[in-house]
Amino acid sequence: MRRSGPIRYATADRFGAPRPVADDRSSTGAICPQAPSRLESVMGSPDPRLPQDDDCLNLSITTPACDDHRRPVMVWLHGGAFLTGGGLQAWYDGGRLTTEQDVVVVSVNYRLGVFGFLRLDGVSEGNLGLLDQLEALRWVRRHIAAYGGDPENVTVFGQSAGGLSVALLLGMAQTRGLFHRAIVQSAPVGARHTPDQAAAFGQAVARHLGADPRGATPAGLLEATARAAAARRSRSPLDVPFAPIAGVHPVAADIDRALVAGADGRDVLCGCTTDEATAFGIPLAAAAELTEALFGEPSARFRAQLAAAGSRVLSYRVDWRPAGSPFGATHCVELPLLLGDERSWRAAPMLGDVPWSEVEELGKATRRAWAAFARTGTPDDRDLGRWPLAIE
């Protein structure tokens, strides 16, 4: 296996659209500036050694070999409420997928929070993080053959905010030809802002900042965001200060219609976990109703819309509750089954005291299923019947 990266896929001025670059190894390897994640109580702390900078448009690649074998390509979009995370975090290393399944894995950084989704007159229209993702897919189209990948067989997969990103990318006419299958994991598909909502929050950030955002320090922008967010007093666990904005390029005004119209016959695997809501402070015994309302029902409607529009749609649900974990089959629990390794996940509270051998055995079956879907559109689920993870 060969790891390549960080590789710069685009460059951008602050609050500017991304501009494509060639196969460029000059990246600093930074992730977008961010505050600590509210999911650290579930996932554990991320690698603190990664630098943070809004010059962060880079990606990493794991590949069996840089040859001409044209393997399936799996492009990962991380979650984090469009506020936190980074494709270069050790959690999202694609080494196990690559080694076991002979696929090329690309993990993408994109701009987050105020840097990627601020809407403020004269400064930024918003949705820059989604434009970054689109530019990363264009880079993959142009360059992935040099890394042993097949640009005609690309699957985009993502979880939480990354899963919502995948769903939105399905609805963008610009993505046709850039990817061919999609895996949507635990996506809050109803989470979106109107232009007016986004503008109101952008104005609140500007007031707390008291300066031109284009010249402010990253720390100052994060502090102004935190102060503006604290004043929102929202009660919804899925309400986030920054989210994709309907009707602002590249997102259509009628997102639901665009999602199904843009699917264009592409295969889609879409699902969630049984106890998603426990990651947001809901006790396990009370999590079922909120999980269904925020994830299960919206995901089912989304799948039905796609199927009615002619896409081939498969669903899954993760019921795995690691021994000793108070979170059950929580939001993010499937991530150690797909990406990263024992070292990167060993301190994750959501894994309780389950032995890594169990994580690895279930993980092998899960990785085989995901990679088979990426390869042919049909998951290999022959081993999943023995485990609390089902594909229909």
Q: Which of 180, 193, 208, 331 is the catalytic position?
A: 331
- Give me the amino acid identity at 246: A
Does residue 287 sit in helix, strand or coil?
helix
| Residue 331 bears catalytic tag | yes
Nearest CA to 43 among 344, 378, 299, 309?
344
Q: How many residues does the chain have?
A: 392
CB 237 within 8 A of CB 282: yes
Given the residues 27, 37, 60, 160, the one annotated as active site: 160
**Residue 176: left if φ>0, alpha if ψ -120 to 50, beta else—which one?**
beta
CA atoms lying within 13 Å on the CB side of residue 189: 31
CA 133 to centroid of chain Cα atoms? 10
Cα separation, 392 vs 387, in Å, equals 14
Q: Is the dihedral of CA 183, 185, 187, 189 positive or negative?
A: positive
Sign for the pseudo-dihedral over CA of 94, 97, 71, 169: negative
387: CB partners within 8 A, 6+ apart: 320, 362, 365
Clarify whether 186 is annotated catalytic.
Answer: no
In the residue annotation, 160 being an active-site residue is answered as yes
Return all residues near 277 (Cβ < 8 A) that are at least 6 apart: 237, 287, 290, 291, 294, 295, 331
Q: How far is CA 322 from the centre of its chain?
A: 23
Quote the distance between the C-alpha of residue 340 and its chain's center: 15
Distances (CA, A) of 58 to 8, 39, 79, 90, 129: 4, 24, 16, 15, 12
Residue type at 306 in one-letter notation: L
| Side-chain-facing half-sphere of 162: CA atoms under 13 Å | 25
Catalytic residue, chosen from 276, 299, 334, 344, is 276
Given a contact cutoff of 8 angstroms between Cβ atoms, the answer to whether 179 and 171 are in contact is: no
From residue 8, alpha-carbon distances to 30, 61, 138, 152, 327 in Å are 10, 12, 13, 22, 37
Catalytic residue positions? 160, 276, 331
